[in-house]
Amino acid sequence: MRIPWRRFGILLFLLFFEPSEAALPIAQEYQIKAVFLYKFTDFIEWPESAFANRYAPFNICILGDDPFGKGIDVALENEKVNGHHVKIQRLNHIKKVELCQILFISVSEKYLMNDILTFIQRYPILTISDSEHFVIQGGMIQFFKQGNKIRFYIAPETAMEAGLKISANLLLIAKIVHRTPK
């Protein structure tokens, strides 16, 4: 058999010198999570009804103690989601939550989690938290640590019920959690 050296050579070249693939950096936990929030917007589709009008901002809200600091502002400044300018809102109150497209619920709110989730059930809001059992309690995306890397659970049914469409590519990377039927 003739060995396709040329092709093998190209393969080798790609493996070694693929220009886009630089060494992975090391980052603070919430810097990585902030970038995850940014990345999720590419893989999730919000219904038009999620926005008041075409010019309404895309609100990413942080409820409770803010673990991100400036990192999340940096990660999302001057970004747009489907033509909507991204704004970071820090909430200390659940009242205005209907204006959010993404709601990050801080661990500081873990004792209120059930109430918060029940309250926003009817809105097309992507709910994200680090809080333990978040997806089981009715949240959509829950970060967890595997070794020193960040992974996440997704509850696709919860998101679907809220009218959000999650791309299969995102589900491929996530750990899927199916809620047990009540």
Q: Contact positions toward other proteins, by CB under 8 A?
A: 15-18, 21-29, 31-32, 34-36, 38-39, 43, 63-67, 69-71, 74-75, 90-95, 106, 108-109, 112, 115, 118-119, 145, 147-151, 169-170, 173
CA 49 to chain CA centroid, Å, is: 20
Tokens 């047990």, residue located: 180
Max Cα-Cα span within the chain:
71
Cβ nearer to other proteins, comparing 51 with 60: 60
* One-letter amino acid for residue 71 of the chain: G
CB of 150 to other proteins, least distance (A): 7
CB of 88 to other proteins, least distance (A): 13
- CA–CA separation, 178 vs 158, rounded Å? 9
CB of 146 to other proteins, least distance (A): 9
Q: In the numeric block, which tokens belong to residue 10?
A: 């190209």
CB of 115 to other proteins, least distance (A): 7
Cβ nearer to other proteins, comparing 3 with 22: 22
Cβ nearer to other proteins, comparing 51 with 99: 99
Q: What DSSP string describes 104-139?
A: EEPGGGGGGHHHHHHHHTTS--EEEE-STTHHHHT-
